[in-house]
Amino acid sequence: MNELELLAPIRSAFYTTIWTIVREIPAGQVASYGLIAGMIPVPPCISSGNYKAYRARWVGNAMSACPPDVPWQRVINAQGKISLRQGADRQRKLLETEGIVFDLRQRVDLKRYGWPGPSAEWLAANGLVDQTNQPSLF
DNA sequence: GTAATGACCAATA
DNA sequence: CTATTGGCCATTA
């Protein structure tokens, strides 16, 4: 068994954890890819440096394959914008339905709509780390 | 086997 | 404010 085969189940669990967190985002609020990723500990077989560099992209990859019950539309990039791709306007419509207002540059005010993250109890119950060292989002 | 691409982010210029 | 760049992962062609 080589290393790549060993890595697949780990990545699968990583995706599942991402979806679990995204399901906790309430309607009318948004979270960035990096914020979600920052709640998940460094997986085995990867250095913390590399993890930090790529975890946000992995969250994006997980969103491209998420189950139907995941509110994927509430995950946007760290600049408060919807990442450009097929279906971006549909994502914006869904968020506007939830009451989120975009500014003239198609941006969301993260100070107003940003999700602070799950409670410490929820994190602990799911074996995740407390996000004490928030990125400079506010 | 190689090469291109991706729903990202932080630090610079 | 915008534009560029390094990060060096995983998937797909």
Question: What tens digit of pLDDT does each residue of A19-33 get?
Answer: 999 999 999 999 999
CATH of the domain at A34: 1.10.10.10
Going from the C-alpha of A128 to that of each of A16, A45, A111, A121, the distances in angstroms are 13, 18, 24, 10
The reply to whether the CB atom of residue A57 sits less than 7 A from any atom in nucleic acid chain B is yes
Residue A137 in this model has a pLDDT that exceeds 50 = no
pLDDT, tens digit, for every residue of A42-72?
Answer: 888 788 888 988 999 999 999 988 899 999 9
Q: How many domains is chain A built from?
A: 1
**Residues 6+ positions from A10 with CB-CB distance below 8 Å:** A43, A44, A45
pLDDT of residue A131: 60
The reply to whether the CB atom of residue A134 sits less than 7 A from any atom in nucleic acid chain B is no
- Whole-prediction pTM value? 0.88
| DSSP codes, A34-84 | HHHHHTSPPPTTS-HHHHHHHHHHHHHHHHTT--TTS-GGGEE-TTSBPPP
> Residues 12-41, chain A: which have Cβ under 7 A from strand C?
none
Residue A56, domain member (yes or no): yes
Residue A132, domain member (yes or no): no
Residue A20, domain member (yes or no): yes
Residue A47, domain member (yes or no): yes
Residue A31, domain member (yes or no): yes
